[in-house]
């Protein structure tokens, strides 16, 4: 596939997509873009408000449209929201793309994102929800990924270097 992003980052909340994405953009001398930010800009409201006001299904439809737009327009580093891979249409858009999955185990997720997370999907019983969320999503991340980089024991700089090495 020609054109489109140089790297697409997927992975759970807290896996470092935005930090690593910014580092990769710097190293590649390319712009950074993030579909969550695109959605907030297009909708004029926060993602948590979209979840509360319109529900997750509507958010995933907005997200699929944002991913399609970014894949068509953006030639730098692109980070997707942690749940973008839940939508089969969004996964299909990623076929053939240079997708890196930043993986993270559940205990590290709890350490990094915390138990009282302000993120909409972790409001009740966060530890169990993390485990269920990771079990459901892991195969979907693996399905779209060209490379998998474990972030648990790596610094963001090391993760960025591993992504560049592997892609």
Q: Are 102 and 15 in contact (CB under 8 A)?
A: yes
The least distance separating ligand S3P from the CB of residue 116, rounded to whole angstroms, comes to 15
Q: Is the Cβ of residue 72 or residue 123 nearer to ligand S3P in the bound state?
A: 123
Site for ligand S3P in 16-75 (CB under 6 A): 17, 36, 47
Distant-in-sequence contacts of 148-152, Cβ < 8 A, 24+ apart: 148/100, 148/101, 148/103, 149/100, 149/101, 149/102, 149/103, 150/103, 150/104, 151/11, 151/15, 151/16, 151/20, 151/102, 151/103, 151/104, 151/108, 152/103, 152/104, 152/105, 152/108
**Does the annotation place 96 within a ligand binding site?**
no
Site for ligand S3P in 81-120 (CB under 6 A): 81-83, 119-120
**Does the annotation place 48 within a ligand binding site?**
no
The structure tokens listed for 166 are 């592997």
The least distance separating ligand S3P from the CB of residue 2, rounded to whole angstroms, comes to 27
| Contact region with ligand S3P (CB under 6 A), list: 66-74, 79-87, 93-101, 145-153 | 79-87
Candidates 37, 121, 147, 161: give the one binding ligand S3P (CB under 6 A). 121
User: Interface residues with ligand S3P (CB under 6 A)?
Assistant: 13, 17, 36, 47, 81-83, 119-121
């Amino acid at each position: 596939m020609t054109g489109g992003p140089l790297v697409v980052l997927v992975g759970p909340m807290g896996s470092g997509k935005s930090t690593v994405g910014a580092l990769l953009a710097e190293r590649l001398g390319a712009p950074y873009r993030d579909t969550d930010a695109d959605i907030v800009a297009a909708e004029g409201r926060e993602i948590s408000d979209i979840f509360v006001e319109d529900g997750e299904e509507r958010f995933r439809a907005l997200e699929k449209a944002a991913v399609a737009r970014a894949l068509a327009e953006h030639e730098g580093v692109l980070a997707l929201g942690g749940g973008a891979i839940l939508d089969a249409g969004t996964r299909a858009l990623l076929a053939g793309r240079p997708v890196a999955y930043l993986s993270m185990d559940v205990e590290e997720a709890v350490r990094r994102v915390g138990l009282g997370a302000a993120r909409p999907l972790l409001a009740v019983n966060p530890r169990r929800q993390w485990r269920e969320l990771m079990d459901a999503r892991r195969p979907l991340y693996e399905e779209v990924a060209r490379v998998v980089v474990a972030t648990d024991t790596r610094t963001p700089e090391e993760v960025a270097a591993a992504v560049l090495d592997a892609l």
